[in-house]
Amino acid sequence: MIVYWEYAFLENALLDGLLLYLAGKCARRRVCIWRLCLAAALGGAFAVVFPLIALPVWAAYFVKVVSGVLICLIACTGGAKACLIAVSAFFAFTFALGGILTAAYSFFGIETADGTGFYVERAPVALVFAGAGIFVCAALAWLRALYRHRKIRQNLLECTLTAGTRTVRWTGFADSGNCLSFRGEPVCVLSAAAVFALFGASPPSVGRMEVGTVNGSAERPVFRIDEICVCGVRRSAYATVGDVGKGYQLILHTALLEEFHERIFSAESMAAKDKGRRERRTLSLRKRGASAAAPARGGSGNARQTRSGRGRGDGQGEAR
């Protein structure tokens, strides 16, 4: 089998560049083009030179792991946590893409030759890059869905709603775009099932309001919530019916979130002030202790001088 080094370099450099790009996206870091190109070029050069070096199996895999970590550190920007995530993602994507390409080679009956820690294949370039392109698109779609789900989970808050004699405990979504108000009070958006569970089969409405969504505007009934508690913040509010996503039962109003964040900010400020008072009190006690110790040391010195003076006086008296 004849291997052309320039083809091997370009193929491995492009594949390493795609994998490093996915690793950077997984670490949620800004991709630096020149660092990415440099790391991909080094990866391609390593793929060309590595088969020419005779190494034991354990040493060959050790060198490959070290080289993978190095090109990740070259391409990645950020702190230690981001680099660790990028390195882990790079190896995970490398194993996944390698498995997919190996399965494709086996399916199409492509000739391969195994080496020490590597293998050489005679595969059409179009097949390799088509598989890599599909893999990258699927991985990017998976990453977007994963981080979208993570963002939603981070904005979910436990809420307790009371209307009359009914009290329910649900999960609310902290949506910064909900600015609905009715009679000067904030309006939360509930699903139809949530309205039925909280207000019953015939909920008494206190009025109607026009609600605008991406699908258009419509007039919706408004219901009175006697008390809504969001992470310790209690107040009265109104509710209306609307489209609510999966995983939560209501969309919170921004006013509730502002009060919640203000309470957290005030608590953090009070904790910081209290910490500062404790630190100042500790420093003042230390200064007082130091100032009290200094006269004591000075007093002992004077006493010694006095005793020595008395000794000299007694000696002079005896001489006379």
Tens of pLDDT, residue by residue over 91-143, are: 999 989 888 887 877 777 776 665 555 555 666 777 788 888 889 999 999 99
pLDDT at 319: 35
pLDDT of residue 278: 52
CB atoms < 10 A from the CB of 128, how many?
18
CA distance 223 to 199: 8
Residues 244, 207: Cα–Cα separation, whole Å: 21
Q: Which two tokens stand for residue 59?
A: 């040493």
Residue 118: CB atoms within 10 Å:
12
Does residue 154 contact residue 228 with C-beta atoms inside 8 Å?
no
- Spans of the chain, pLDDT less than 50: 261-272, 283, 285, 296-320
CA distance 301 to 289: 19
Coil, strand or helix at 311: helix
pLDDT value for 230: 81
Q: Are 224 and 206 in contact (CB under 8 A)?
A: yes
pTM: 0.58
Query: Which long-range contacts link 46-50 to residues 24+ away (Cβ below 8 Å)?
Result: 46/12, 46/71, 47/8, 47/9, 47/12, 47/13, 47/16, 47/118, 48/5, 48/8, 48/9, 48/12, 50/117, 50/118
pLDDT score of 179 = 80
